[in-house]
Amino acid sequence: MENVKLAVIFYSMGGTNYQLAKWAKAGAEAAGAEVRLLKVQELAPQSVIDGNEGWKATVDAVKDIPVATSDDIEWADAIIFSTPTRFGNMASQMKQFIDMQGGVWATGKTVNKVVSAMTSAQNPHGGQEATILSLYTTMMHWGAIIAPTGYTNQVLFGAGGNPYGTSVTVGQDGKMIEDVEASVKHQASRTVEIAKWVKNGQAK
């Protein structure tokens, strides 16, 4: 049986979601998946980015990572999205990428993709759960199979216990407060496992 193909698609302004995406890639590869690490297109003007040292550093850090396309959505058996919280919703950069997938959706190519999501915010109640749920709402329209973390492993409690997907609080210094590496890797492994079930079932 072919390995599960997983797209890890992220948007990151301060580097947090880039790190989450890298941990997801590592966890999925350890579970035997073929992984593409992909960013969504930056929309902010360069003049604004240049005025923020952390933002500029992140743009530079991810410059060699491919920009996600509709072809990546078609290719993937499973997708993990990682986006910062913006007023309880996903970042506009991620939203535009998803909004541009109308052609893929209209031809049924999003159906039965296994999806999971991660996020970050500057405080524990800054919209972390709402952001993941906003993304999952779109995935219901896609006909995708949502793979939440639930409480399927003890490592999730050390990461804050979010059953929708891994979320992390980022302090004013830009550093993550909770230790979420193990949670992200578990989430990625679980997503790959569920995608294997779907893929093997479809092959019968």
DSSP string, 27-78: HHHHTT-EEEEEEPPP-S-HHHHHT-HHHHHHHHHTTTSPBP-HHHHHH-SE
In this prediction, residue 204 carries a pLDDT of 58
In this prediction, residue 200 carries a pLDDT of 86
Question: How many C-alpha atoms does 50 have within 13 Å on its Cβ side?
Answer: 3
State both tokens at 27: 């966890």
User: Structure pTM?
Assistant: 0.95
Strand partners, 116: 80
Q: Which helix (H) or strand (E) holds 191?
A: helix 181-203
Tell the residue number behind the tokens 């952001």, with chain if given. Answer: 131
Tell the residue number behind the tokens 């579970």, with chain if given. Answer: 31
Domain boundaries, the chain: 5-203
Taking alpha carbons only, the member of 157, 153, 142, 136 closest to residue 187 is 153
DSSP string across 107-142: TTTTTT-EEEEEEEESSTTSSHHHHHHHHHHHHHHH
Burial (CB count within 10 angstroms: exposed 0-12, middle 13-18, buried 19+), residue 23: buried
Q: In this structure, are residues 69 and 98 in contact, taking their beta carbons and an 8 Å threshold?
A: no
**pLDDT 10s digit of each residue in the chain, 204 long?**
689 999 999 999 999 999 999 999 999 999 999 999 999 999 999 999 999 999 999 999 999 999 999 999 999 999 999 999 999 999 999 999 999 999 999 999 999 999 999 999 998 888 999 999 999 999 999 999 999 999 999 999 988 899 999 999 999 888 999 999 999 999 999 999 999 999 988 655
In this prediction, residue 202 carries a pLDDT of 65
Give the CATH class of 5-203.
Answer: alpha beta
State both tokens at 70: 């509709």
In this prediction, residue 56 carries a pLDDT of 94
